[in-house]
A and B are shown apart, each in its own frame.
Chain A
């Protein structure tokens, strides 16, 4: 799937297309843009509820130590309209989550990208790369 957004050029474009990252709370209130994290591990649960989905991951570091993390994703209604469902990830799936850590030192992150081992992203853009039919397509 081609990259949807060029970060360098699209700061404002993100504002146009961004779903409520800021609609009900401030990123800066909760997360630290100076603490990026990359978590590789196994999905243990998905919460598919408003206002944001949550992905729970048993993340394994280089030494093999496993830590439980919870990472916030997008709003479920927008994801649904873009063709995603909670079944895009199942308990036991291997994923890599890139994001930013919460300021309060809990194992909480704001997920920036969620990738499968083959590099495909889930919960990003539309699901027309083998996932469910993109909800944006006209059905009438």
Chain B
């Protein structure tokens, strides 16, 4: 029986592989400045440089609550021994896989290579999960998300237009509208070549994502993402996060391609997933 790299093994591996990267990671954001959310043309202004929790697994809730899995999902069954060795915090959740979703999920083995290994675009959801900050720049027609991870961007029109009729893309096609003080972003038309998170939860090209951005105060955005993919999941499920303002940071360039030795020297592979 093939041993699939599951969440618990992954955590054990990471604990064993204590690299300097772990200690120099984003860590907990310091307390941001206080005050009400600024406004722009009658809506909260989401603009700013935002630190976000790194979410390698969307079924997990972190102890400090900066990332929360869907409370309505059942807990993942793990045996007592794995429970003891597992990370502190609430147990991870079981996703509502369809038969196809379970098959694709169980076939995934990151040790055999992942598309991101060759610096292919992470895609929308994995870019929202990445540890690097994002800069949001908002005007009265668009909200632009600048992802430091691999220097990508997403531009969300907020003028009420409908989705475009174009070929599918890595990040999908997004339109946004204001629901009170919350920006609701609706994204479809994904090319299906990406994964939802580092641990490899799958999605198809029928994925429909709804994100909600609420700047609760000057220093925080409450973020919710809903995954609705009827091919791989029998019902929609969610994830919530807190982003923290970092007025002391500026966005930096990140060329994944400039020295990707792991891939260029064939220590890893990084083509598109064969199991799609």
Contact = CB atoms under 8 A, between A and B. Distances in A.
A7 B12 CA distance: 10
B248 A140 contact: yes
Contact of A14 (B22, B112, B254): B22
A121 B20 contact: yes
Contact of B54 (A23, A74, A137): A23
A51 interface: yes
Contacts of A29: 110-114, 117, 267-269
A124 interface: yes
Contact of B259 (A24, A54, A78): A54
Contacts of A12: 11, 62-63, 86-89
How big is chain B's contact interface, by range?
Answer: 35 or more
Nearest to A139: B248
**Secondary structure class of chain B's binding surface, majority of residues:** loop
Interface stretch (A37-45, A57-65, A99-107): A99-107
B202 interface: no
A77 B254 contact: yes
B62 A22 contact: no
Contacts of B13: 27-28, 33
Contacts, number: 223
A66 interface: no
Contacts of B270: 25
B5 interface: yes
A20 B21 contact: yes
B198 A30 contact: no
A74 B130 contact: no
Given A15-B14, A81-B249, A51 B259 contact: yes
Interface of A: 4-5, 7, 9-31, 33, 47, 49-52, 54, 70, 72-75, 77-82, 84, 99-100, 102-104, 106, 108, 110-114, 121-126, 135-140
16 contacts: A11-B12, A11-B88, A14-B15, A16-B28, A18-B54, A22-B198, A23-B130, A28-B5, A33-B16, A54-B259, A54-B261, A74-B19, A81-B249, A112-B17, A124-B20, A135-B248
Shortest 10 CB-CB contacts between residues of A and residues of B: A12-B87, A74-B21, A26-B110, A11-B15, A49-B259, A24-B116, A19-B25, A17-B25, A18-B22, A28-B111
